[in-house]
Amino acid sequence: MIIIGLGSNLPGPGGATPRRNLEAALENLAARGMDIIVRSSWYQTEPVPPSDQPLFTNGVALVRGDMSPETLMAEMLEIEAGFGRQRLGRWEARVLDLDIIDFNGLVLPGKAGWRAAANREIAEQATELVLPHPRMHQRRFVLQPLAEILPGWIHPVLGRSVEQLLDSTE
């Protein structure tokens, strides 16, 4: 089970709405060989950390495919670039943001180690993929849609259910 997080708060190509950007991103993933099993509802959320950016549209999708996590991440970065995503700064507004939240329960600590990678300065130095996503357990905009489609999901490192993680973000 592969869980992908999706977010957008800027218009996309041709003036597409953030919601349309996310739907088109899922279509792109499917065209690249990923089966979209189910996706959550789309949620309107405040930017994290708080800022004067437009609201985000967020959701998660459960997908299946034969790609390695590294190949999937490379494909997702290509999709983001195809939508005009430029990485100019941390926590910036974005036309499209795709993240691997969980990849079949695989734990990849990256160079800095999973817990250390939750620290911003260290995470920026890590060049390897970190799984599960190192901050997903702190992000209501990931946990709420995840609880919708996969109630009872257990974080592979923390050993806590999505509901327990969601309760701790309030």
> 132: cis peptide before it, omega within 30°?
yes
Q: What is the reported pTM? A: 0.88
Looking at CATH, the fold of the domain delimited by 2-135 is given as Alpha-Beta Plaits (3.30.70)
Per-residue model confidence as pLDDT tens for the chain (170 residues): 999 999 999 999 999 999 999 999 999 999 999 999 999 999 999 998 888 999 999 999 999 999 999 999 999 999 999 999 887 777 788 999 999 999 999 998 875 544 444 445 444 444 478 999 999 999 999 999 999 999 999 999 999 999 999 999 86
